[in-house]
Amino acid sequence: MTSRISRRTFMRLIGAGVVVGSGIDALQLVGPTRVYARVRIKTRAHEEERNVDSDSVFTLPFTASHVAVHWEGHHDALVRVAFDAGAGFAAASTVLHDEVGEQKNDGRTYGAVMIAGGASAVRVVTDRPLPRLRMLAMVDGERTVTYDTVNGVLAAPSLPAVISRAGWGCDESLMTWPPEFYPIQKLICHHTATQNRDPDPAATIRSIYYYHAVTQTWGDIGYNFLVDESGRIYEGRYSRPYPTGAYPTGEDATGKGVTGAHAYQFNSGTVGIALLGTLTSQDTTAAGRNGIEQMLAWKASTHGIDPNGSNRYTNPVTGAGTTFANIAGHRDVNATECPGGVFYQTLPTVRNDVAAAIGGTPSPSPTAAPSPTPTPKPTPKPKHSPSPTPTGGANH
């Protein structure tokens, strides 16, 4: 049973000793009655466009928590940004590519979301002239909190704890695409190419959400789930409303998975799980690995997926098919560095861990040193650029 309560009642319940929580934390506590906070945080955003020949400083209208830059053409340009939070510009950082934006094929290069740390100015340095570079600055804006009381635990015991969209402060007014559902065939691992040792993962997820949903016009965040360095799992792509206190599954009531926008031409019938951070030259944390393995194990067990298998994938929308690992890295299906070279080399271990968790037979451990990272497969390009209107999972 679920009921909406006022803030005054909420404070009285705290005084009376009733269990209070938000997202997954409430379910980890003991007691017949729980109070859940549903948080919606609107993203305040500002975007400015200009041509940048070599060096340009953008003065922001507010202090930004995160920024992202994207520009026309020049996919291989070396772009660096430096932030000034009041004490002068800090050392510049290289702009990595946003893998979800790479799917747009609209002639623009999308940089990954970067933590700005309260910057009021951003310097952009490029090794070549960049036409129509846009600087997107973001920070948390208006915060709305409502409270629900719940009797009993509603989560399925085998489903890992998942922080709901309401739990990380998702502004659902930005979600503009109609969900599509298909049987789950494959599980695809990603990294977000954002900062490691992130001090506020939920804020980063909110910025990624705005960047994907609004700037890139996907209408929602691209990933089905995200995992931070502490091992917390976050609901990504919207699937359906869930009862208060229930963990989100990313599926409809019949168990079909919602289509995301995480792997071009391989979105339908797959689950995209992204580790927060950049795993090109370092691995994820032990907690992060445990978190992604928990979600992989639950999905594999629920949908009869062999973690060490390589079965044929058939796109349920286009009918195109190919064979690749059931637990794959993004680079196995698209031309991308994702999920990072170091983490990608550990996927055999991840598959074995998942197989052991669900009672399968692990593959023999390799005795030789890992082979070099394979060259990513080229990504087929569409004949026409996607429409500038929100497309959700329309790139299939």
pLDDT of residue 150: 62
pLDDT band at 366 (very low <50, low <70, confident <90, very high): very low
What is the distance in angstroms between the CA of the first residue and the CA of the last residue of the chain?
A: 38
Give me the chain's average pLDDT, please: 85
How does DSSP classify residue 251? B
pTM for the full predicted model: 0.84
Q: Give the pLDDT score at 16.
A: 40
Query: Which pLDDT value is given to residue 244?
Result: 79
In contact, 36 and 26? CB cutoff 8 Å? yes
The pLDDT assigned to 26 comes to 35
DSSP characters for 134-190?
A: EEEEEEEEEEEEEEEEEES--S-TTSPPEE-TTTTT--GGG--S---EE---EEEEE
pLDDT recorded at residue 386: 32
**pLDDT at position 364:** 53
Higher pLDDT, 69 or 381: 69
| Pairwise pLDDT comparison (391 vs 286), residue with the higher score | 286
Token digits of residue 6:
């006022």
Average the pLDDT over 269-280 and give the result: 98
CA angle 316–188–267, rounded 5-degree value: 30
| pLDDT at residue 102 in the model | 87
As a whole number of Å, the CA-based R_g of the chain is 21
Whether residue 179 contacts residue 258, with contact meaning beta carbons closer than 8 Å, is answered with yes
Could you give the angle at the alpha carbon of 199 between the alpha carbons of 197 and 200, nearest 5°? 125
Could you tell me which of 147, 152, 162 has the C-alpha nearest to residue 21? 147
Q: Where do the domains of the chain lie, and which CATH numbers do they carry?
A: 41-140 (2.60.120.260), 153-359 (3.40.80.10)
Can you give the pLDDT at residue 159? 83
pLDDT tier at 379, thresholds 50, 70, 90: very low
Q: What is the pLDDT of residues 309-344, one digit of tens each?
A: 999 999 999 999 999 999 999 999 999 999 999 999
With tokens 């700005």, the residue in question is 116
Q: Kindly report, residue by residue over 185-214, the tens digit of the pLDDT.
A: 999 999 999 999 999 999 999 999 999 999
Lowest-pLDDT choice from 34-48, 164-178, 275-289 = 34-48
Maximum pairwise Cα distance, the chain = 64
Mean pLDDT, residues 259-272: 97
> What digits encode the pLDDT tens for the residues 43-101?
999 999 999 999 999 999 999 999 999 999 899 999 999 999 999 999 999 999 999 99
Q: Do 33 and 149 meet the contact criterion of CB atoms below 8 Å apart?
A: yes
Rounded Cα distance, 139 and 206, in Å: 9
